[in-house]
Amino acid sequence: MRTQVAIIGAGPAGLLLSHLLERRGIDAVVLESRDRAHCERRQRAGMLEQGTVDVLRAAGAGERLDREGLTHHGLELRFGGAGHRIALSELTGGRTVTIYAQTEIVKDLIALSPEGRIRFEAEVLEVDPASPRVTYRENGVLRTLDCDLVAGCDGFHGVSRAAVPRAKVFERDYPFAWLGVLADVPPSTEELVYCHHDRGFALHSLRSPEVSRLYLQVSPDEELAAWPDERIWSELRTRFATRDGWTLKDGPIREKAITPMRSFVTEPMRHDNLFLAGDAAHIVPPTGAKGLNLAVSDVTALASAIAARYEGGSSALLDGYSSARLRRVWRAEHFSYWMTTLLHTDHSADAFARRLQLSHLEYVVSSKAAATTLAENYVGFAHDGP
């Protein structure tokens, strides 16, 4: 088989890239090791930057997003028993964020894909960036896909990252994890609440008007069995409690999982004809909600670079892809690190460090300049692309 662009991975990054290329008349094939049902139920982030929403709309994948997505103009930082609103739209010239689950984006993009573009249950075994060629197993048969370019959108554990020789790796593990729950209960808030508490961080998010997404800071070695539903709700009520008597609604918990937190970047994001995007190249702690948005920004820029090669014969954007993307990646890495250390409780820290953290929180909510820095990073910057 032959195509112009081989895309490894049918997550949001790979699917969106294939769709952006198709709209420019460029052939692409997506190879995905899992089946369609698995791809459509993988739970991941659900906060979309303004730029991500704009790209999905321009790609023709915005109909259900506009109908069901929850647009937010602000968020709340809560600490010391009091809430402080960060007016995102007022501080960023009207930009917003939208709550819309990654699973729904995947469903929308798969539904838009023509027959044969996505090959599910096609396990990629090897990538040859020089040829370029991808070897994969489908229905027990070894096959090869020859192409001009390869886009590695197959995540941290995929084969693409390993195909970049002599890569530099930068990483940091954090001394805490998130216990995340999906609960069948209407949200207790209209905007996200990021809460700092002596017992640990908590986050109240939304999935829909009927479903809430909530998180608790726990130890990375915490056992899920140690957290029955009632303990989760009790701890959430304690951390979210305010002096004015704010009430947290509770209800049946549908799903729960513990996710360690880490930062990771691999450099470069290109080797020969292989280009990395999304989690294959970088991971951020979820506090800043940058993971999915950064992946969308990657493939939007990559689609423009590939189109420039085929439409105008120029490889300049492809040649500059890695360096340009890494500048954006490190900005997102810093913001995610900053939000994480600002809001989480390091139980090994001394009293001096705790007071510094509280002082920083008070500065962010009392200074327009500091609040603007948070707001413009949170809503995101314009994506580079078509």
Residue 58 vs residues 132, 268, 295, 300, 305: alpha-carbon distances, Å:
30, 29, 17, 11, 17
Which candidate in 19, 72, 344, 383 is catalytic? Answer: 72
Query: For this structure, is 286 an active site residue?
Result: yes
* Residue of 100, 136, 174, 194 marked active site: 194
Q: 194 an active-site residue?
A: yes
Are the CB atoms for 336 and 287 separated by under 8 Å? yes
Annotated catalytic, 378?
A: yes
Hey, which residues does 256 pair with through a beta bridge? 181
Catalytic residue among 204, 286, 344, 383: 286
**Own/partner pairs, 200-206, CB within 8 angstroms, 24+ separation:** 200/176, 200/239, 200/344, 200/345, 200/347, 201/176, 201/239, 201/287, 201/343, 201/344, 201/345, 202/235, 202/236, 202/239, 202/240, 203/178, 204/240, 204/248, 205/46, 205/47, 205/99, 206/70, 206/99
End-to-end CA distance of the chain: 28
Q: What are phi and psi of 126, to 5 degrees?
A: -155, 145
Among 197, 290, 344, 383, the active-site one is 290
How many Å apart are CA 112 and CA 108, to the nearest integer? 6
Q: Which listed residue (271, 321, 378, 383) is catalytic?
A: 378
Give the active site residues: 72, 194, 286, 290, 378
